[in-house]
Each structure stands twice: as structure tokens, then as C-alpha cells.
Amino acid sequence: MCPNERHDHGHDLAQGGELPIRSEFIAWAEFLQISGVHPSRLGELIELGWLEPRRTAGEGYLFRRLDVYRTRKLERICADFELSSLGGTIVVDLLDRIDRLERRVRELEAQR
């Protein structure tokens, strides 16, 4: 292949064609590596419906990168306050809701 030739093999390339564009989604193994959670814990969070990954054609899972952040937050809260998974998910969901509401209040105040 010539140095100036560009073969992306079906992947979106970043500007300049050097690196693939970072996807919003990550696979099961990458999620486990980045989040540090045990596979059974990840399965539990999916069964609870707290994580809702997309399914691939090969019956794999694709998670949002935001789910890594939320799962790490869940793990810290469960450990720090000795909460069950269900209790921790409720706390994280409420914290996320508070964050969204505070953002909305700031937006509305900025419009005055």
C-alpha cells in the first residue's frame, strides 16, 4: 500500500485519517477492564435493568461509556454505605436526577 493511500476497512476515521473515531459504545470485556467490576456483578446490574446495553448480532453486549462512570459511582456508594445493589442503584439514579434538575435550574436562571 502506498503511504498516502487510505484504507479504513469500514471504520470511520478521524480527521487526517490516522486513528479511528472513538465510539460511544464499548464491548463487555472493555467495560469490565475499565470499570473494574466482576462479570457476575455486571450481569446482576443488567438483570436489574439498571444497565441496558445494546445487543450485537453475535449476542454480545455494547455499553455506553457513560455506564462505566455510573457503575464506578455505584460501586463506591455501595462500598462506602454498605448498600445492596438495588439500594445503590436507587441512590445513583437519584443523584443523577438531582444533577439534571440543578443543571436545568441554572439554564433557567441564565435566561432571566
The answer for residues whose C-beta is within 8 angstroms of residue 63's C-beta and 6 or more apart is 25, 26, 27, 28, 31, 51, 53
Residue 96 C-alpha cell reads as: 443523577
| Weakly modelled stretches of the chain, pLDDT under 50 | 1-13
Residue 18 in any domain: the answer is no
Residue 89 in any domain: the answer is yes
| pLDDT for the residue 63 | 97
Residue 2 in any domain: the answer is no
Q: Total structural domains in the chain?
A: 1
| pLDDT for the residue 51 | 97
| pLDDT for the residue 19 | 65
CA distance 44 to 72: 15
Residue 77 in any domain: the answer is yes
Here the CATH number for the domain that contains residue 85 is: 1.10.1660.10
Residue 17 in any domain: the answer is no
Q: Max CA-CA distance within the chain?
A: 59
0.85 exceeded by the pTM?
no
Residue 49 in any domain: the answer is yes
Residue 7 in any domain: the answer is no
What's 60-93 look like in SS3?
CEEEEHHHHHHHHHHHHHHHHHCCCHHHHHHHHH
Query: Cβ distance 89 to 45 under 8 Å?
Result: yes
Which residues span the domain enclosing 96? 25-110
Residue 9 in any domain: the answer is no
